[in-house]
Chains A and B, each alone.
Chain A
């Protein structure tokens, strides 16, 4: 039941992302709700849960957004692994750490998606991606992370690890 709720939350985020949030611009770009949740959850709960929910969230986002299936899942799994492993090592070292990780992880996510899409379709103008997408999106996500990360921590504290996934 709790996993179904988590699944529905990610699905709702993906739907909101495509239908509502995509019409809101922050620093000229659209914040990525699903990605933010996956990054925050990975930082808090480690790589296992991060990768699992990253895969699920990415898949849902691809289905809803009409992207080639698996692209977002691929990028989010890698980002979740990085965040999960880093979070377990460095968690609590600095209050700015989670926000820095959101910034960096978003950058990695954009690069990975760009790389996969460039492989599948046309060559990408990387300078434009860096200037017009990566930096603004990473900054916007970091700003929004100020709200999402504490929310994820709150959910974690109140579920007492009931959503635990371990390998």
Chain B
């Protein structure tokens, strides 16, 4: 047993000694390679190896790229979610700014139109007002403005759009609030003149339940056509003369009737109207 143990120990020592010798040889070989590499003596071999290995590496990298891209996306989900929330908030902020910008642009446009009309019509004393309420689809078409009796307004004063188109007249006034009876209201009747190619004729523009305007007593002897202008005639003193109301949209003429009838398309788009002007120096005579 002791002999066996002694022989085993001897074998172990022998193997260790040989291993150390081989270790020395491998180390010398490695160091030689390092030195030769530093002296650029192995460039040829390295280039040959690169020509073989680089295509394999490239192919391998391209094959696994989608996997890593997918994994990277998964890792970024939390970050993407946060970024999404941040961007949504940013989008809302920008949308708000854009809305404010559009509103300011619209107000600016309205004010430019008001200024332009006021400069072109110095005979009118104008009080600008903002529309604060509308009902354009009921039986009683009206709009409400933010000026009233305490602002110097009086009943029946004429109301026009910033461009100068006839809107209606004041009907009910409170301190800083007033209701405007618009010309499409069935209760509205405006003395008007049709400016046709062959001449002019007077009639009344009536509001209709469906929000349209009509003229029912146009003289037969004046040929009128679609597109002819309709303006206020000033008769009766309710409205100043020459305010634009609309255009003839359709004409009904019959030999058996005494008068022509016409449908008038108003110039003013009441749905989009946001501001008006009240003519304060043309108070109707009761």
A35 on the B face (CB < 8 A): no
A16 on the B face (CB < 8 A): yes
Classify the secondary structure of B's interface with A: helix
For B, the interface residue count at a CB cutoff of 8 angstroms equals: 31
> Are B27's CB and A85's CB within 8 A?
no
B57 on the A face (CB < 8 A): yes
Q: Which of A15, A59, A116 contacts B57 (CB 8 A)?
A: A15
Classify the secondary structure of A's interface with B: helix
For A, the interface residue count at a CB cutoff of 8 angstroms equals: 32
In Å, the complex CA distance between A84 and B42 comes to: 30
A140 on the B face (CB < 8 A): no
A77 and B30 contact, Cβ closer than 8 Å, known pairs A47-B23, A63-B46, A167-B22 = yes
A-B contact count (CB 8 A): 87
Instruction: Please give me the residue from chain B that is nearest to A121 by CB atom.
Output: B38
In Å, the complex CA distance between A23 and B61 comes to: 10
> Are A19's CB and B64's CB within 8 A?
yes
In Å, the complex CA distance between A84 and B50 comes to: 32
CB neighbours (8 Å) of B37 from chain A are: 68-70
In Å, the complex CA distance between A59 and B26 comes to: 11
A64 on the B face (CB < 8 A): yes
In Å, the complex CA distance between A52 and B15 comes to: 15
Interface 1/0 per residue, A18-30 and B, CB below 8 Å: 1110010000000
A73 on the B face (CB < 8 A): yes
In Å, the complex CA distance between A16 and B64 comes to: 10
CB neighbours (8 Å) of A54 from chain B are: 26
In Å, the complex CA distance between A157 and B50 comes to: 35
In Å, the complex CA distance between A116 and B38 comes to: 12
Q: Which of B23, B36, B46, B53 contacts A81 (CB 8 A)?
A: B23
B258 on the A face (CB < 8 A): no
In Å, the complex CA distance between A81 and B25 comes to: 12
> 10 closest Cβ contacts across the A-B interface?
A70-B33, A74-B30, A70-B34, A69-B37, A47-B19, A19-B60, A77-B26, A167-B18, A73-B30, A81-B23
Please list the residues of chain B having a beta carbon within 8 angstroms of any beta carbon in chain A. Answer: 12, 15-16, 18-23, 26-27, 29-34, 36-38, 42, 46, 49-50, 53, 56-57, 60-61, 64, 68
Please list the residues of chain A having a beta carbon within 8 angstroms of any beta carbon in chain B. Answer: 15-16, 18-20, 23, 46-48, 51-52, 54-55, 58-59, 63-64, 68-71, 73-74, 77-78, 81, 84-85, 88, 116, 120, 167
Q: Contacts A47-B22, A70-B36, A77-B23 given; 18 further ones with Cβ under 8 A?
A: A15-B56, A15-B57, A16-B60, A20-B60, A23-B64, A23-B68, A47-B19, A48-B18, A51-B22, A51-B26, A54-B26, A64-B57, A68-B37, A68-B38, A73-B26, A77-B27, A81-B19, A167-B22
